[in-house]
Amino acid sequence: MTTTARAGRAAAEPLRPEPATIVEVIEETPNIKSLRVVFDDGELMKSFSFAPGQVGQLGILGVGEATFAISSAPSEKDFLQFSVMKTGVVTTAIHELAAGDKVTLRAPLGNSFPVEEWRGKNVLVVGGGIGMAPLRSLFMHLMDHREDYGDLQLIYGARTPADVCFSSDCSLWSEKRDVDFITTIDAEHPEWGGRVGLVPSVLEEENPSPENNVAVTCGPPVMLKFVFESLEKLGFREDQVYTTLERRMKCGIGLCGRCNVGPRYVCVDGPVFSLAELRRLPDEL
């Protein structure tokens, strides 16, 4: 990664955020909104770069910060997008924001998907619910570099049709001929003409070959558990499977202590881990 204006400032004062402004709010689902955010410092915005899978601390002064995956693609240079589900104090306050409102940002933080290592391979992306946020960034990056990768497949599951995030992206992706995109919902629904079934079962029905393939998954813990099982059933080895973890975080720089899984800190050693790495860590998710 190139040295950016943010990197220089972060080295001096890593806990000091940058002022930023919301330029657009997209209502994805009844409880998920995507916020498009621009640094107030134009130079900073111009020099900003990140890799898919990295996260940021999005904050409201007076309320606090929380960690979110960057859901925009690295090629989307005009803004950073965060997709936020309303759950706690900070996310509830974020949901009340509108275009023009002020926020703060510390980004990028954490590691990223090893997309360089994956060149020449097929990539299978499996997402569920709000877990699609980092995967959107990844999938768009892979499509931006389409010639570097083999087959691209995305399986995305939501509970109901109303819970499908990124619906405009979804319609675009489903029209693409060079990627295989499947959306599924958990149970039959009158407004849904598409695929029905839980993500792990759809995955098994699709029966992707582990040959020269990597699988990347993110979603609720219970989905992950069964997706890992399905992938292993399909013959994927632990080092072919990647996920990205979520933990309560505060500092984002490996110091405040709370996001560790054993000796690894999700904020700096993660959030992206291979299943092989995860299995070597103490079982404390």
Partner 1 sequence: MKFIAREDIPRWLERLAQAAAVWTPRRAPDGGETVLFLPWEQGSEPELDRFTDLSAKHLLLPASEKLFPFQYRLGGEGEQIEIGAAPATPESVVLFGARACDARATVVLDALFMQSPEKGYLAPYYRRRRQALAVITLACTRADAACFCSSWEEGTASREGSDVMLFPHEDGYLAEAVTGRGEELIGGEPFSERDAGPPDTAVTDQVPLAGLQEKFTAVFSRLDFWEEVTARCISCGYCTYACPTCHCFNIFDEMRDDRCGERCRSWDACMFYLYTLETSGHNPRPTIAHRYRNRIGHKFSYYPENQGTFLCTGCGRCIRGCPVSLDIRDVLRKVGDAR
Is residue 10 near partner 1 by the rule CB under 8 A? yes
Total interface residues for partner 1 by CB under 8 A? 44
CA–CA separation, 128 and 228 (whole Å): 13
Give the N- to C-terminal CA distance of the chain in Å, as an integer.
30
Residue of 166, 183, 165 whose CA lies nearest to 174: 183
CB of 206 to partner 1, least distance (A): 29
Per CB under 8 A, does 87 bind partner 1?
A: yes
190 is a contact residue toward partner 1 (CB under 8 A): no
What's the rounded Cα separation, in Å, for the pair 130 and 109? 19
Half-sphere exposure of 147 (CA within 13 A, CB side): 0
Q: Which among 118, 22, 27, 34 has a CA at the least distance from the CA of 69?
A: 34
The amino acid sitting at 78 is D
Check residue 248 for interaction with partner 1 (CB under 8 A): yes
Residue 76 found at the interface with partner 1 (CB under 8 A): no
Residue ranges in 125-144 that form contacts with partner 1 under rule CB under 8 A: none
For 33-44, give one letter per residue: b (16+ CB within 10 A) or e.
bbbbbbbebeeb
Give the integer Cα–Cα distance in Å for 127 and 186: 13
Any bridge partners for residue 260, and if so which?
265
Asked if 188 interacts with partner 1 (CB under 8 A), we say: no
Place of tokens 């402004």: 21
Nearest to 179 by CA among 214, 136, 137, 146: 146
Nearest residue (CB) to partner 1, 22 versus 179 = 22
Our finding on whether 31 is near partner 1 (CB under 8 A) is no
Choosing from 24, 27, 75, 88, the residue that interacts with partner 1 (CB under 8 A) is 88
Numbers of helices and strands, H then E, in the chain: 8, 15
Among 42, 100, 190, 193, binds partner 1 (CB under 8 A): 100
Q: Are 199 and 131 in contact (CB under 8 A)?
A: no
> What minimum distance in Å lies between the beta carbon of 225 and partner 1?
13
Near partner 1 by CB under 8 A: residue from 172, 187, 255, 276: 255
64 touches partner 1 (CB under 8 A) = yes
Contact between 101 and partner 1 (CB under 8 A)?
Answer: yes
Are the C-beta atoms of 164 and 196 separated by less than 8 Å?
no
Contact between 95 and partner 1 by CB under 8 A: the answer reads no
Q: Does 42 bind partner 1 (CB under 8 A)?
A: no
The reply on whether position 285 binds partner 1 by CB under 8 A is yes
- If the CB atoms of residues 13 and 78 are measured against partner 1, the closer one turns out to be 13
Examine residue 194 and tell whether it contacts partner 1 (CB under 8 A).
no
In the beta sheet, which residues pair with residue 180? 153
Instruction: Output the smallest distance, CB 31 to partner 1, in A.
Output: 12
Find the binder of partner 1 among 63, 97, 196, 234 (CB under 8 A).
63
Binding-site ranges for partner 1 (CB under 8 A): 10-17, 19, 61-66, 87-89, 91, 100-102, 104, 221, 246-248, 250-251, 253-258, 260-263, 268, 282-285
